[in-house]
Amino acid sequence: MALVVMKFGGTSVANVERIRNVAAHVKREVDAGNKVAVVVSAMAGATNQLVAWVNDASPLHDKREYDAVVASGEQVTAGLTAIVLQSMGLKARSWSGWQIPIETSDAHGAARILNIPSDELRASIDAGEVAVITGFQGIDPETERVTTLGRGGSDTSAVAVAVALKADVCDIYTDVDGVYTTDPRIVAKARRLPKVSYEEMLEMASSGSKVLQTRSVELAMVHGMRTRVLSSFVPPDQMQPVRLDNLDAIGTTVCSEDEIVEQQVVSGIAYAKDEAKVTLLKVEDKPGIAARIFGPLADASINVDMIVQNVAADGKATDMTFTVQAAELTRALAVLEAAKSDIGHFDVKASDGVAKISAIGVGMRSHAGVAARMFNALAEKGINILAISTSEIKISVLIDAAYAELAVRTLHSLYGLDAE
């Protein structure tokens, strides 16, 4: 008997018929004697519609009210899933984030989980009840206001619940049957990876891979939570129920680097088209200027990714270029304008027509020349690089969005990732 947390994304619960399919997956685990907690996202498209309504009401809206609106999508899915499970003869109930409670920070729209008191939830599961939990949402214990964890936050909810319950495995069900070397819709020869390290998955998630959300991988890595990526579209009766001795038989297992016997130099190519580039021109070059620019952005919970600084020949002025999520561009510009008196004079240029392309692999630690090969290959295709950032196991470049798919295909072939 295993304790399993099963998370189902928006496409998996897009309508009642698909929710019945989800329920069949859950029933398979219950019938095998496993204890089950289910975490669900909103139906596909539901959150986008809710966000659109909020933005239509006011582009610069109250984040607390934003959370009150967008958290409603998961309420619907959790209730419907519990109803379908009950119709199949299973004991089930829905749990909202505030009922468990999933306690979070007060950063509305991008809250971080602080604590999950799990005694009541665990007692319910031990009594044979399937817990159907709303992903993406929590509660600020100070104000008792509903919070949300940011887009893709249901993955984080699932891993956090798995950690709190000391589950044996956290299964993330999506519309793909694992983690691929790149997006199969762009590169037909992309391959499924049987195992990927926490570090690689973290870099893939932060670089645009939509399979898992960044913070969910961080949580899994910190707590050593074994996480699998599976497809909900495989017929439920064609999948083996979870047993502790067969966890690596299907999908992609996200695990410790030590468990992966053979490591490639580059494991995958990720891309992100939802990036925006901001350039501040003629900023005074003096100590503390970076803190004055990025401090207010951090206070506004706006995540900054790539940063490039150029110093003018006279040494008196600098240009500062950085990237943010395209959805945060309007807010970022507003924050910078509000901080102009502290930053000093600057001109600003902004564009959301850019994409970030990343090559990722733990093998980079012991191989030289990976970056040089990337730059040469992109140059041969006439692709100009706007910015570069690196980590120990990742190289990212910012390019014009029009060339994103060409760049992905080029690099996938360059590093020998194409399937035979």
Evaluate whether residue 87 is within a structural domain. yes
Parent domain of 248: 3-176+211-259
Task: For residue 130, give the H/E element and its range.
Answer: strand 130-134
Question: Are 379 and 241 part of one and the same domain?
Answer: no
Question: Are 296 and 248 part of one and the same domain?
Answer: no
Evaluate whether residue 115 is within a structural domain. yes
SS3 content of the chain, % helix, strand, coil (to 5): 40, 25, 35
Domain containing 402 — which CATH number? 3.30.2130.10
Determine how many CB atoms are found less than 10 A away from the CB of residue 129: 19
Question: Are 122 and 247 part of one and the same domain?
Answer: yes
Between the alpha carbon of residue 137 and those of residues 77, 261, 386, the distances in Å are: 13, 38, 36
Question: Are 245 and 276 part of one and the same domain?
Answer: no
Indicate the pLDDT class of residue 310, thresholds 50, 70 and 90.
confident
What total of structural domains would you count in the chain?
Answer: 2
Question: Are 244 and 393 part of one and the same domain?
Answer: no
Question: Are 407 and 322 part of one and the same domain?
Answer: yes
Evaluate whether residue 385 is within a structural domain. yes
Choose the most confident range, by mean pLDDT, from 160-164, 306-310, 368-372: 160-164
Question: Are 101 and 249 part of one and the same domain?
Answer: yes
Question: Are 281 and 246 part of one and the same domain?
Answer: no
Question: Are 251 and 285 part of one and the same domain?
Answer: no
Question: Are 242 and 324 part of one and the same domain?
Answer: no
Q: CA 56, 59, 62, 66 torsion: positive or negative? A: positive
- Give yes or no for residue 419 having a pLDDT over 80: no
Q: Are 248 and 198 in contact (CB under 8 A)?
A: no
Gap between the Cα atoms of 236 and 244, Å rounded? 19
Residue by residue, DSSP assigns 306-358 as: EEEEEE-TTSSEEEEEEEEEGGGHHHHHHHHHHTHHHH---EEEEEEEEEEEE
Which of 259, 292, 320 lies at the terminal end of a domain, its last residue? 259
Gap between the Cα atoms of 149 and 216, Å rounded? 11
- Going across the sheet that includes 268-284, the strands are 304-311, 317-325, 268-284, 347-360, 394-400, 387-391
Model pLDDT for residues 251-303, shown as the tens digit of each residue: 999 988 888 766 678 999 999 988 999 999 988 888 898 999 999 999 998 99
Q: What is the mean pLDDT of residues 363-391?
A: 91
Model pLDDT for residues 242-262, shown as the tens digit of each residue: 988 887 778 999 988 888 766
Model pLDDT for residues 87-137, shown as the tens digit of each residue: 999 999 999 999 999 999 999 998 999 999 999 999 999 999 999 999 999
Question: Are 129 and 230 part of one and the same domain?
Answer: yes
Which of 203, 231, 259 lies at the terminal end of a domain, its last residue? 259
Evaluate whether residue 183 is within a structural domain. no
> What predicted TM-score, i.e. pTM, was given to this entire model?
0.81
- Give yes or no for residue 166 having a pLDDT over 80: yes
Average pLDDT, the chain: 92
- Give yes or no for residue 15 having a pLDDT over 80: yes
Question: Are 337 and 228 part of one and the same domain?
Answer: no
Give strand pairing partners of 93. 131
309: left (phi over 0), alpha (psi -120 to 50) or beta: beta
Of 41-50, 161-170, 255-264, 331-340, give the lowest mean pLDDT range.
255-264
Evaluate whether residue 296 is within a structural domain. yes
Domain containing 237 — which CATH number? 3.40.1160.10
pLDDT given at position 285:
85
Evaluate whether residue 185 is within a structural domain. no
